[in-house]
Amino acid sequence: MRAVHERLGATMTEFAGWLMPLRYGSETAEHNAVRSAAALFDLSHMGEIAVTGPGADAALDYAVCGWPSALAPGRARYTMLCAPDGGILDDLVVYRQAADRFLVVANAANTAVVLGELRERCAGAVVQDETEVTGLIAIQGPNAPGVLSRVTDLPLDGLRYYAGAYGTVGGCPAWVARTGYTGEDGFEIFCAAGDTERVWTTLAEAGRAGDRDGAALPAAGLAARDTLRLEAGMPLYGNELGPDVTPYEAGLGRVVRLDKPGDFVGRAALAARAAEGPRRTLIGLVARSRRVPRHGYAVLSGSGEVGVVTSGAPSPTLGAPIAMAYVRTGATGPFGIDVRGKTEPADMTELPFYDRRKQR
């Protein structure tokens, strides 16, 4: 895929040992294309780990804090791999591809950790790293179903959000899932690594065919992916999530299924954290000035520091800088952000910053 990206003029960046496209032209244009039309992403750096066998469901129930065995085949769930102390080792999407096969998608930087933990925790199941043999192309945006429907044999109307099915794309066998990390409708297409370029090219051509200008389906890079997920209030491991953060602090307590039967790694610690309530809370901030809050900047209230910015960027959709930040639970505004020595006022807002169901 590297040659494809370079032909498209991509600025490449090293990310978790992978050379990935950061942007092709203007990352703002790529962002806006996803919000208003659709765009293609190469996400081959993501980790894919298969957990298979008759004991796979019970093994995963013990390994992660969600409830994979309750998933029907063809369904997916966002979940987390927690340490025994309740800290987050990675956030994952788990697809139940068949009764005895789960596909666990991990962050590129955490794939080795997730693989190691799953191998240790999943006694009674086969755990295999499929990252190198799997390609992942995402098509995201309101036009994604229209474009994909031209080149797949799957009836997409029947494919709900967080569902997936085996089919073909451009004639290549693929697992097609209605998932993403942009806050828009769209699909993630897992294929054989050797088919990645063909899937990409097939979709790019299908996008062009639907638009006389030929710009209906641009490629988008990691820079646009980051601003899209931030607007959608989705956490990024290493920013909002980490081993010193519990799901409750991240506002994701719903992913911890204390109601599932049996023990799982982190259960005791997480139950205690659920009972005591989080010490800090993830909030959204919209800056009033045009200076952008960045990762690590202090959040101020009154005369004191009450938290820290985890992610910040200029929001193309809102037209203002936005940030997610951890603040002491109960801290009240008005908030300011220490932007390199000068306090810039910011308004607390509910997450997400952007919700497509409310915009249309």
CA distance 240 to 84: 19
Shortest distance, position 316 Cβ to other proteins, whole Å: 9
Shortest distance, position 44 Cβ to other proteins, whole Å: 22
Shortest distance, position 11 Cβ to other proteins, whole Å: 8
- Comparison of 81 and 287: residue with beta carbon closer to other proteins: 287
Q: Which amino acid is at 214?
A: G
Q: What is the secondary structure of 114-132 as a DSSP string?
A: HHHHHHHH-TTSEEEE-TT
Q: Mark the segment that binds other proteins (CB under 8 A) among 129-137, 160-168, 254-262, 284-292.
A: 284-292
Please check whether residue 85 is in contact with residue 269, taking contact to mean a CB–CB distance below 8 angstroms.
yes
Does 340 bind other proteins (CB under 8 A)? Our answer is: yes
For other proteins, the binding residue among 28, 69, 128, 239 (CB under 8 A) is: 28
**CA R_g for the chain:** 21
Give all strands (DSSP E) within the chain, no chain letters: 11-15, 18-23, 39-42, 47-52, 76-82, 88-98, 101-106, 126-129, 134-140, 164-169, 172-177, 186-192, 280-287, 298-301, 304-315, 320-328, 335-339, 342-349
Does 349 bind other proteins (CB under 8 A)? Our answer is: no
- Comparison of 164 and 221: residue with beta carbon closer to other proteins: 221
Q: Mark the segment that binds other proteins (CB under 8 A) among 19-27, 58-66, 133-141, 160-168.
A: 19-27
CA distance 39 to 42: 10
Window 168 to 227, contacts with other proteins (CB under 8 A) = 223, 227
Contacts of 294 (CB under 8 A, 6+ apart): 309, 312, 339
For 90, the token pair is 């990675």
Shortest distance, position 311 Cβ to other proteins, whole Å: 12
- Comparison of 260 and 291: residue with beta carbon closer to other proteins: 291
* Helices then strands, each counted (H, E), the chain: 9, 18
Distance of CA 156 to the CA centre of its chain: 21
Shortest distance, position 21 Cβ to other proteins, whole Å: 12
- Comparison of 11 and 69: residue with beta carbon closer to other proteins: 11
- Comparison of 125 and 313: residue with beta carbon closer to other proteins: 313
Shortest distance, position 88 Cβ to other proteins, whole Å: 25
Q: Mark the segment that binds other proteins (CB under 8 A) among 20-28, 112-120, 179-187, 252-260.
A: 20-28
For other proteins, the binding residue among 5, 10, 21, 23 (CB under 8 A) is: 23
* Phi, psi of 185, rounded to the nearest 5 degrees: -60, 150
- Comparison of 238 and 253: residue with beta carbon closer to other proteins: 238
Please check whether residue 119 is in contact with residue 134, taking contact to mean a CB–CB distance below 8 angstroms.
no
For other proteins, the binding residue among 8, 11, 53, 156 (CB under 8 A) is: 11
Shortest distance, position 285 Cβ to other proteins, whole Å: 16
Three-class SS state of 182: coil
Q: Mark the segment that binds other proteins (CB under 8 A) among 142-150, 264-272, 286-294, 343-351.
A: 286-294
CA distance 63 to 113: 13
For other proteins, the binding residue among 1, 26, 185, 349 (CB under 8 A) is: 26
The CA-CA-CA angle for residues 161, 105, 231, to 5°, reads 55
Contacts of 206 (CB under 8 A, 6+ apart): 147, 148, 150, 151, 217
- Comparison of 269 and 318: residue with beta carbon closer to other proteins: 318
Window 287 to 326, contacts with other proteins (CB under 8 A) = 290-292, 294, 313-314
The residues binding other proteins (CB under 8 A) are: 11, 22-23, 26-28, 223, 227, 290-292, 294, 313-314, 340
